[in-house]
A and B are shown apart, each in its own frame.
Chain A
Amino acid sequence: MGLQIVLNLIIAVVWMFLNNEWTAVQLIVGYALGALIMLALRRFFNHDFYLRRVWAFLLLLVLFLRELIMSNISVIRELLRPKLAIRPGIFAYDTELRGDWEITALACLITLTPGTLTLEVSPDQRTLYIHAMDIADAEELSAQIRSTFEKAIKEVTR
């Protein structure tokens, strides 16, 4: 991925050399042209075309912001209820993600969406222990994490 970005930058600089015009506009035009060239030649690279990953990352960001706002609303509804009806608990969640970066990203995303808080990652990095504000739907919560965050992170890193 790093190689592809550097290559794209080199193509942009070459484009500026060809035009003998050193402006930001030329750099952007050259970068876009380079992206097109690399899209055409993507089968020669070992990895996927890198802009697909950038796009997946943006999708992850949007998904995360939406979850953040939605679950903030739900927690505030719980807080303002006259009689506190929360049932907190800690549940184990088996993750399919591997590697430090993926696990860290997942743990941070889980922690920032209210209603869940990562308490501990097991030493073998296969299980996350999550404190939930309302355990009633632990199954539902894990299914939700699995189908949204885990999938989106996989899209970015693989």
Chain B
Amino acid sequence: MHEIGMTIVEWIIGLLVLGGALLGALSAFGLLRLPDVYTRSHAATKSTTLGVMSILLGAFLYFVAYDNYVSAKLLLGIVFVLITAPVAGHLIGRAAYKSGAPLSDRTVQDDLKHAPHTDTQLREHTDGQLPHERERQRE
């Protein structure tokens, strides 16, 4: 019985770590393949977050199962990654938009451009155009 339990735990740990590494690799691939800042940050912030979380969880379970050691640091690490990653993604995306990083050509809808508050903030410096619109005209 104990033998079977250990095998199952081994499988779970293996799957968690392997899955996490795979997610990291896939989001790196997405980073290369996607067209603009915003879609890249989709791939970078989220799939990696889940990947890192599942690797940390795998490490936590490993120490619990083989060393009988409950590592609170790993659990805290999971919580910190979970809390800080979305804020970083949001701030990078927002800063990119404010500084006028161009949206990719595939973009079909941009509600933020017509939002009442961005108009007053950004357009007063730029004779009625958002930075990335000017960029596009110059090209």
Measured CB to CB, the residues of A under 8 A from B are 68-69, 72, 75-76, 79-80, 84, 86-92, 107-109, 111-115, 117-120, 122-123, 127, 129, 131, 133, 135, 138
Contact = CB atoms under 8 A, between A and B. Distances in A.
8 contacts: A68-B46, A76-B26, A90-B111, A111-B45, A112-B85, A123-B117, A133-B42, A138-B109
A89 B49 contact: no
Contacts of A69: 50
B132 to A, nearest CB: 12
Interface residues of B, number: 42
A115 B49 contact: no
A89 B23 CA distance: 24
A123 B58 CA distance: 41
Best-surrounded residue of B46, B50, B94 (most CB of chain A within 10 A): B46
Interface of B: 23, 26, 29-30, 33-36, 38-39, 41-43, 45-47, 49-50, 82-83, 85-87, 89-90, 93-94, 97, 103-104, 106-113, 115-118
Contacts of B89: 111, 117
Contacts, number: 118
Given A87-B106, A120-B97, A131-B93, A108 B115 contact: no
Given A75-B43, A114-B47, A133-B39, A122 B115 contact: yes
Given A75-B43, A131-B93, A88 B104 contact: yes
Contact of A72 (B34, B50, B83, B111): B50
A84 B104 contact: no
B90 A107 contact: yes
Given A115-B42, A122-B117, 12 more contacts: A72-B46, A80-B26, A108-B83, A111-B90, A112-B46, A112-B85, A113-B46, A118-B93, A119-B90, A120-B112, A131-B38, A135-B109
Given A72-B23, A72-B47, A129-B111, A111 B86 contact: yes
